[in-house]
Structure 1
Amino acid sequence: MIVFVFVVICAVLVSHYTGNLCCICRKVKEIYYGKPGCIPLPNPGNVTLHYFGVRGKAEGIRFIMEEGGISYDETKFTKATWPAAKAKGVESGLYPFGQVPALITSTGSKVAQSLVVAHFVARSTGLDCDCRDYQRCEMLVQGIEDIKYHFGLLIKHADYDFARRKEFIDNVLPVWLKHFEKLAPSLTQQDGAFFASNRITWVDLLVFEVLNQQITYAADDFGGKTYKNTEILKQSPKLANFYRQMLKRDRIDAYLQSERRHPFTHFAKPKEVRT
């Protein structure tokens, strides 16, 4: 025992003076929690996701929970039930900014804001990025948010119509797909086509979710009333390969085919099809 303690002390001292102490601490934490990632967390226990009965900002979180093997329940708000729930959530601190998604776990965690919730779930399930890839992963996540920001500008525009929709699909979205194509995993990787850490992480699932959203949106012609594009990844071979490989993952495929998944709905409709 004395020898073991001496060896540990020596290892810590050597690591401190060589600058490797943080790496060793992270490795110990990874071993302790039994999962990879830069900042792993213990298992979250039973999870309840608070959101509306739509895909929206919670869909990326759902993909992470599905791939991470978390069994979860949902509290689904409607326009009628949300105002009272919001007031109560703000008062209790569950919705500190008066927004959802939010998450409650049986281990006592209460987490709000979509990206924070997504990262919390990833850290709890071994889907966090490795430390060496942290900046890359944060950059990719912010890039995903930029795509969603521009999409939001479109569908929330007071003059949102078929012409603006076509402009977005043909000219705005391709710019962002081109950016992600440069960062996408190589075509030669096939089954190992991941954006970081040589394994699937929360970033892959968030990229997949936004691609799935935009593919579905662009292919919807509103009952034959307008233009559609069913090949938005045609000029992005690496992204297309990544998307195909993600579709093959057992848990992702099961979720996509399940009744748990909410149907695709439009947050807002172009003027030509508003009722």
Structure 2
Amino acid sequence: MPTYRLHYFDARGRGEVARLMFNAAGQKFDDVRYTKDTWPDFKPKTPFGQLPVLEVDGKLFGQSGAIFNYLARELGFYGNGNLEALQVDVVIGLVNDLIPLMLKVFFQEQDETKKKELLEKLLTEDAKKFFNYFEKVLKENGSSGYFVGKGLTMADIVVYDIVDTLITNKATIVDPFPVLKANRQKVESNPGIAAYLKSRK
């Protein structure tokens, strides 16, 4: 097995899915975190001047989506066979449709009044739309409680992470969606993730 180092800021953000997968698999890795003071020294060494970066046996790789896909394949979170991999990618596609709406609220919109309106829309209308999509996929997959197949995949982990961000803004946001809420409990029941969540920042 290769030696892994994950380089990211001292925050969850785009590095958290990789951390969750590493912990879910019980795979040892170095969790290298940067502050605003230490990041400028490392930035010129990165492939594209951004984080996250995954270091595999000393070689650096950028682009979060590529990193997640690689780890999912290496650690066994991409389903069994190409059809299940396609199903995983469908769920990831839904999350990637939701992310720009979140970025607009949390990072791009500067007008405070407009930001407040967009946040309210995100936590009600947008969340309901995508949570219903997530529940539809979960129900179509049968009684396993997972998005794909009968075990944990990157789909479960990525959805868990993105919903976490919304929960920090509205604690009860998942309550009207019992199937999605049960899926989150499935993710949290993974021994490696359970141990990580107890100590994470």
Alpha-carbon separation, structure 2, partners of 1:250 and 1:84: 36
- Structure 2 distance, partners of 1:164, 1:153, is 8
Q: Are 1:204 and 2:117 an aligned pair?
A: no
Amino acid at match of 2:74: S
| CA distance in structure 2 between the aligned counterparts of 1:164 and 1:207, rounded to whole angstroms | 21
Match of 1:128 in 2: 78
**Distance of 1:204 and 1:76 partners within structure 2:** 24
The structure where helix makes up a greater share of residues is 2
State the match for 1:57 in structure 2: 14
Measure the CA separation in 1 of the matches of 2:140 and 2:65: 26
Task: Indicate the RMSD between aligned Cα atoms, in angstroms.
Answer: 2.0
Structure 1 residues 75-120: Cα deviation after superposition (integer angstroms, max 9, x where no partner): 222223323321232xxxxx2x2211011123x5532211111121
TM-score (norm 1): 0.66
- SS at structure 2 position matched to 1:242: helix
Q: Quick check: 1:245 aligned with 2:186?
A: yes
Aligned partners of 2:77 and 2:38: how far apart in 1? 33
| Residue 255 of structure 1, CA deviation | 0.8
TM superposition score normalised by structure 2: 0.88
Whether the aligned pair in 2 keeps the contact of 1:68 and 1:122 (CA below 8 Å) is no
Which residue of the partner structure matches residue 151 of structure 1? 102
Structure 1 residue runs of 4 or more that deviate by more than 6 Å after TM superposition:
none
Counterpart residue number, 2:167: 215
Cα distance in 2 for partners of 1:187, 1:116 equals 26
Which ranges in structure 2 are unaligned for 5 or more consecutive residues? none
How many correspondences in the alignment? 197
Larger of the two Rg values belongs to structure: 1
Give me the identity figure in percent.
Answer: 26
Distance 1:104 1:88 in 2: 11
What letter is aligned with 1:62? R
- Which of 92, 115, 124 does residue 65 from structure 2 map onto? 115
